[in-house]
Each structure stands twice: as C-alpha cells, then as structure tokens.
Amino acid sequence: MTAPFEALLRPLTIKGLTIRNRIMSTSHAPSYGADGKPKERYQLYHEEKAKGGIGLTMFGGSSSVAVDSPAAPWNQISVADDSVVPFFREFADRIHAHGAALMIQLTHMGRRTKWDTENWLPTVSASPRREPASRSIPKEMEDFDIARIVADYAAAARRCKEGGLDGCEISAAHGHLIDQFWSPSVNKRTDGYGGSLENRMRFGIEVLEAMRAATGPDYVIGMRMSGDELIDDGLTHQDCIAIAKTYAERGLVDFINLIGGQARDHLAHAIVLPNMSFPVAPFLALASAIKREVGVPVFHAQRITDLATAGRAVSEGHIDMVAMTRAHIADPHIVRKLMDGRVDDIRQCVGYGYCIDRIYAGNDALCIQNAATGRERTMPHVVPKGEKRRRVVVIGGGPAGLEAARVSAERGHQVVLFERSAATGGQVSIAAKATWREALTGITRWLTQQAVKRGVDMRLGVEATPELIAAESPDVVILATGGRPSRGGIEGEALAVTTWDVLSGAVTPAEHILVYDGTGQHHAPSCAEFLAKRGALVEIATQDRMIGEEIGATNQPIHMRELTKLDVMMSPNLQLVQIYAEGNRRVAVLRNEYTHAEEERLIDQVVVEYGTLPEDALYFAMKETSVNRGEMDLHALIAGRPQPAVNGSGGFALFRIGDAVAGRNIHAAIYDAARLCKDL
C-alpha cells in the first residue's frame, strides 16, 4: 500500500475520542428525517458507511436548535427538544457496533430558511437584509433573541451528549446564523455585535461558551466554516484565518471543518457544492492555509472524489481528516475496498450533483449511479448470490443494460450482453461529449469494468435478433435497448436535427442556429454550449419559464453562466410550433405561451431536444413468444420479490427497462435494472 493510502488509515485522536481512520462523511441533509427525527431510513444510510469502514460519519446537516429555525424545508432533524435523544442513542449504538464514530451538525439557519413553514415565525439575523436564495427578509435580532438562541444551542449540545453521539459541530458556513453575524455582507449592526471583526465574532463565541458549559470540557465540539466567502463584500481569507485562530486559541473548538465559498445565491450554491465542471479538491488550499495557523485538527470536504487526491491531502499535511461525502453516496464501502486491496472496485462519484439537486427541489437525496443509496432497507449494496443459476441475456450496453448484467452476474447467473455499437455507454457517451460533462463516462466505464470482471460475455458490435437470442436458450431476456431521439411531432419536424445528431458528429453544425429545449433538462443547454464554443451564433428557446427549468441547483447556474459567457441568446416562454424551408435556410415559428403571438426566426439550422421514444421493435417482436408476454409484476418489483414468471419451467421471461420503456434519466435506468435483477 502506498504512503498516501497508509496515511488515510492512521487513527486520529481528539480529546478522548479516537477515530479509526482519516476518512469521513460530513454533515449533510439528505431529507431522510421523519417527524424531525433520524429514524430507520436515516440510520441505515449511515450504517452502510460504518459497515464500509468509514472513520467518522456526520449526519444532520443544518439540524435545528430552535423553534424559529425550521427543520421542515429539508425534512431535517430538530434538536430543539428532548424527544430526539432516544433516537440519537439508537443511532449511536447502530454506528458504534461497526466501529465508526458519529457526530451531528447543529445550527440556527437565521435568514437562510423560510418563514412560511412549520411554526410560521419570522426569520431572524444580525441585520434585516434579504437573502437571495431563500428570499427571506429577517427580523434584526434583539438582545433577548440572542440570549434565547445561545441557550438553545447549549441545550441542543447537551442532548447530543446525552444521546451518546461522539461530538457535534456548529455550522458557521453556507450563510447560517453564526456566519451571518461574522460576514460584513449581512451584519450591519452598530452595537457590540457589529462593526469590527472582534464584535462580529461575539455571538459565535457566546454560543460555543454556552455549549461548553452544558457539555463539559471533554466533549468534542467542532465548527464548520468557510476559508473565504469569495464575494466582494464578504469575509476574506484573512478574516477567516483570524476567526479560526481566535476560536481555536480560546479552546472553543476541537476541530475546524473548512469549506470554500458561501451559499447566498444561485451561483454561490453551485460553487460551494462543486459539480463535475470543477477540478477535484478546488478549495483544498484554503483548508491547508488555515491548518498552518491553528492548533486543532482541520477537516475538509468539497469534491474530493478519489482516494489518490484524498491520500495526498492527508499525507502531505494539508488537512487531518478528508471528507468524501458525495463519494460515499456513490459507494459507502470505499474504506473497506481500500483495506481489501480492491480500489478498482470503488464506484467513484462523477460529480453529477443529482443527490444535492434533488434536495433543493424538495425531494430525497439519491445517487445518479447507485440505486441502493438511501434505499438500504430494500436495496442491497452487496448483491447476494441467487439460489439457482439461470441464463440471462441482456440487450443494450447503456446504464440500464450494464447494471442488469452486473447485478445478474453478482447473483451468480450466466450472462450474455449484446450491444450493437462497438463500445458500451449508450446515451451517456453522447451526453458526455457536451463541454464540461465528460465525467459522465465514469458511470458506464465502472459498470462495464464490473460486468467484465464478473464474467459477463460482452458481445459488442452485434445487433441482437430474436434468432440470436433464442440460440442462447435464455431463462430471462432483459431488453435495455434505450431510446431514439424524438423530434416532437411538430409540423416540419423532418427539417430539424436533434441534439444527438450534433453531439455524435452525425451532423455538421451550421453558423446561425436555433436550439429548442423541449425537456428542461441538461441536453439542450449542453448542446447550445457545445455549438457556441465552436463559433456558432446560437439562440436557445423553450416554452418553460427559464432555460433548463428542470435542472437542479448545483447545475443550472453553471449552464446559465456558460451560456451567458458565450453570448447565447436565451428565449423562454416560446413554443416551437412549425419549421419550414426558405431556400436552403430554415424558418422556425415560435408561439408565446401567454399571448399566443407568433414570431419567426430565419436561421441555418434548427436543433431540437424533445427527449426520447422507446427503441421497442425487438421487444414487440419477442413479446408473444415469452412466458410472461413482457409483463412485469409491479407489486412484486416494489416489494422486492422475484418476478413470478422467472420459474425455469420452459421458455423465457421477457422484461424491458430504462428508456426502452419510457424516456427518464440515468438513475431511473439503473434503478429499473438493479431492483429487477437483485431478485432474479
């Protein structure tokens, strides 16, 4: 094992707590809370990481300490009363049984939340300045508000200790209440809590002093903070160093958990939660600089997706603990695989941002490529062997087909996969050609590697036919043939080309192009960026209220930034209703969604994105000869029971999955495959 990897496996002791290695998962908010409590789903999600060997797993990002900091917007944990303590004890016992440490993040959100939820109380902050992200205008805190919230923090810390948690951290990052007091971008007070940096630090100092008094000197308390807010009117790097030194030297914190940036607006969210458009570890230097100035351990997270980067960060002394939070969402068994010498088996996070984007849309966190994450009660991360070996034929080498082949092989079945192209990847290979989305190929690259490793007979460049499939004498046939691009069914659609045509290189881009976004997803903005970077004059239109309306909070701002930088004209609220030829050019007729007024564009090329239609010819050719006529028992699928048609009594059972059924996304395709095949 190399020195950087060995460094990751060294224990770290903080006061009386020894963490078994240097790899952790930071507090985050997966929206798995129930009634403000970390119940079974939440616990199982973290238990899987503990089983996988992680040193420290932290839960409850933005866990509320007070009644005017609602937990509801992210379905999060409330630590505002003693009813949470029994759940903490159950949670701690579950994690400790596997040798990992467990901590929580405590916070008051201040202005960074909604007032019109839960208790319907006004938000509060250092000053009554509107926050762009939450659109909340807070009440300026009075002296009794400050005293009350300080006491709330202390009571919450006591509950953590009584609940058997190994420690807690306060959030003074992402624009929460404590860093709202710190930051000159928010704090405009003229009393003893405003003005100088010393005064602006006072509220946080009082909070930590009260927490110390409530828990005693031996309980581990840390702080998450930014190393630089990266905004003109915010905290500078030097300010953050001064804050970290002050809090550490006063003995208020036992560790500092560093990030870069803040989260007050849309682009700031995308920067502080960096996606695949960013390099790995983009803010490690900030953490390293603060580690040189403080005498307590420094933790750091932000797009550290691979063990090589993590190992260097620790072995070279930049940080003491490396957080691979989203990496553990993709694969909770990272440490176990490292210790077993199976680094190549780690499913690496590609930085898609699907997990976080779902949270900000009010959904639960799910991984774009690991269907078991967050579903530990019903979906295994380690697929068990089946009772009887069957012969399984999979058609299609995209995400759905590869996952079906991988899971079926893990079950011990004999698997043949047909893919008509010369390489696997499916639609992922097309999407990855668009500017900053190349990392998508990591999804299908890992699936291909795992399928081959488990003995799947990969027949690439072979068009599957009913005759070829029948020759394999299959027990199960899984059609993952994907989709074909739709042109929308509009008048003159034959005069359009698709985003697939452009990105695959099948069509040469013209000079003056209209891109039509009919799905609100990544595809059209990605293609528009691709075309503009090649010198085309591009307009992107959509009938939605904005371009990429369905794209999540960590990705949509990056698309908007890139489109703006490239001078792409963005035209919302316009429906493409007709295309007709004028000479060798094209006229696109666009209708306003609200007035129904029509306008025309004379351009060289119309590129459309309307999603996909199923490639289902092979399915219908085989349906009547299958024992189940292609029908899937949905109740059995949802309940995690085997499909009744797979009984080995002669003939083959036929199933179709992914876009071969209906156009959705990568996660849906992989989930279709995983939950069907785990029970074969």
Residue 540 has what DSSP assignment? E
Three-state DSSP at 581 gives strand
pLDDT, tens digit, 9 for 90 and up, residues 460-474:
999 999 999 999 999
pLDDT, tens digit, 9 for 90 and up, residues 21-49:
999 999 999 999 999 999 999 999 999 99
List, in sequence order, every residue forming a beta bridge with 585; answer none if it has no partner.
582
pLDDT, tens digit, 9 for 90 and up, residues 191-233:
999 999 999 999 999 999 999 999 999 999 999 999 999 999 9
Give percent of the chain with pLDDT exceeding 70. Answer: 99
Q: Report whether 224 contacts 171 (CB < 8 A).
A: yes
Select 3-360's CATH number: 3.40.50.300, 3.20.20.70, 3.90.730.10, 3.30.70.1290. 3.20.20.70
What dotted CATH number matches 487-610? Answer: 3.50.50.60
Q: What does the pLDDT read at residue 648?
A: 57
Residue 650 in this model has a pLDDT that exceeds 90: no
Closest CA to 220 of 122, 116, 334, 106: 106
Residue 344 in this model has a pLDDT that exceeds 60: yes
- The 10 Å CB-count burial string (b at 16+, else e) for 482-515 is bbebbbbebebbebbbbbbbbbeeeeebbeebbb
Rounded to whole angstroms, the Cα distance separating 64 from 105 reads 9
Phi, psi (rounded to 5 degrees) for 119: -90, 0
**What is the largest distance, in Å, between two alpha-carbon atoms of the chain?**
83
**Whether this model's pTM surpasses 0.85:** yes
**What is the arithmetic mean of pLDDT over 500-526?**
97
Other CB atoms closer than 10 Å to residue 134's CB: what's the count? 20
Number of H helices, E strands in the chain: 24, 27
Q: E-assigned strands of 80-231?
A: 101-107, 124-125, 139-140, 167-172, 220-226
Residue 631 in this model has a pLDDT that exceeds 70: yes
Q: Tell me, yes or no, if the two domains 391-484+614-677 and 487-610 fold the same way.
A: no
Q: Report whether 197 contacts 241 (CB < 8 A).
A: no
Q: What is the mean pLDDT of the chain?
A: 96
Q: What does the pLDDT read at residue 647?
A: 62
Q: What does the pLDDT read at residue 74?
A: 75
Q: Report whether 565 contacts 477 (CB < 8 A).
A: no
Q: Where are the domains of the chain?
A: 3-360, 391-484+614-677, 487-610
What dotted CATH number matches 391-484+614-677? Answer: 3.40.50.720
**What is the arithmetic mean of pLDDT over 139-168?**
98
pLDDT, tens digit, 9 for 90 and up, residues 303-317:
999 999 999 999 999
**What is the arithmetic mean of pLDDT over 60-68?**
96
- Residue 554 — very low, low, confident or very high, per pLDDT cuts 50/70/90? very high
pLDDT, tens digit, 9 for 90 and up, residues 98-128:
999 999 999 999 999 988 888 999 999 999 9
387-to-118, 384, 393 alpha-carbon distances in Å: 49, 9, 18
Residue 4 in this model has a pLDDT that exceeds 60: yes
Closest CA to 354 of 276, 264, 284: 276
Q: What does the pLDDT read at residue 75?
A: 84
